[in-house]
Amino acid sequence: MNTDQLMSLALEMAGLTEIPGDSAIYHPGQNLHKVMFGIDVKAPEVKMAADLGFDVAMSHHPTGGQARLQFHKVLYRHLDQLTAAGVPLKAVQTIIDDLAEEHRVMASMSNYDHDPSVARLLDMPYMNIHTPLDEIGRRRLQDAADELAPTNTVAELIAHFQSSFGEFRHADTQIELRVGQLDRPIGRVVMSHGAGTNGGYPVAKAYFDHGINTVIYIHCRPADSKKLIADFGDNVNLIVTGHVVSDSIGINPYIDRLRGEGIEVTTLSGIIPA
């Protein structure tokens, strides 16, 4: 495989037709048989991959180049997910515009070429795949949530996630209920993931304001969940599944597929086995 084919396989698995803003080939390569894959693969790991004889260094999180500069575009996937859940576009357009603008400006302030430049100097193939793998994870988690009835409790949903995904059983973090009560019904559930990063307080609030009873994030700042408690008390549920474990749920099917194609994949940096 080459770097284009590695990217295309992920797009195909996620049902996407083009490379999203947060994913990129920083330095292309051909005839790739030995892959190093991590959640955060930056300049030191690229050098390590070259030293250890890998053919390509792959990161989940974007580290630079266009994947950093265009990252803000994938935040608009929140609008697709929100409107699919019945939230009116006019209620959330400004929220996502503001979030995207903040990310665009912060990215433009950064040294976006640092990690890619190291790969070029070493002539080491290097790329990242973010949203396609998060979309795979989002679907798996939403599908698992949809196997339960609205009358099932939050505790039952958490237990169902733990029994459905070995990653949750193997992780050192726990699935946390940040807002709500474990013995309450889950009602309507949205897995909010695969849109660059979590939508924080305003996106969760928009779901709760429009009939969603349980929002699931993979991570959420404490300040955001505190604001939700101030607004909603324990009348809605915010479940936080954990960052690297939930990323792993989207990454592992892709790695399994690569191995099925005869590619040797070594994982590091937070990837938790199923």
Enumerate binding residues for Fe ion (CB under 5 A).
134, 247
Closest contact distance (angstroms) between CB of 201 and Fe ion is: 19
Closest contact distance (angstroms) between CB of 71 and Fe ion is: 12
Burial of 210: CB neighbours in 10 Å, binned 0-12, 13-18, 19+: middle
Identify the residue whose tokens are 């609205």. 150
| Residue 68 near residue 107, CB atoms below 8 Å | yes
For residues 103 and 80, give the distance between their C-alpha atoms in angstroms, rounded to a whole number: 19
Question: Within 10 A of 173 (CB to CB), how many other CB atoms are there?
Answer: 15
Nearer to Fe ion, 115 or 247 (CB): 247
| β-strand pairing of 126-128 with 24-27 | antiparallel
| β-strand pairing of 24-27 with 176-179 | unpaired
The distance of Cα 171 from the centroid of its chain, to the nearest Å, equals: 16
Closest contact distance (angstroms) between CB of 209 and Fe ion is: 26
8: phi then psi, degrees, rounded to nearest 5:
-60, -40
Closest contact distance (angstroms) between CB of 267 and Fe ion is: 14
Nearer to Fe ion, 167 or 247 (CB): 247
For residues 13 and 29, give the distance between their C-alpha atoms in angstroms, rounded to a whole number: 21
Closest contact distance (angstroms) between CB of 36 and Fe ion is: 18
- Residue in 37, 23, 38, 62 with CA at minimum distance from that of residue 270: 38
Nearer to Fe ion, 65 or 137 (CB): 137
Nearer to Fe ion, 224 or 247 (CB): 247
Nearer to Fe ion, 55 or 247 (CB): 247
Closest contact distance (angstroms) between CB of 170 and Fe ion is: 17
Nearer to Fe ion, 125 or 196 (CB): 196
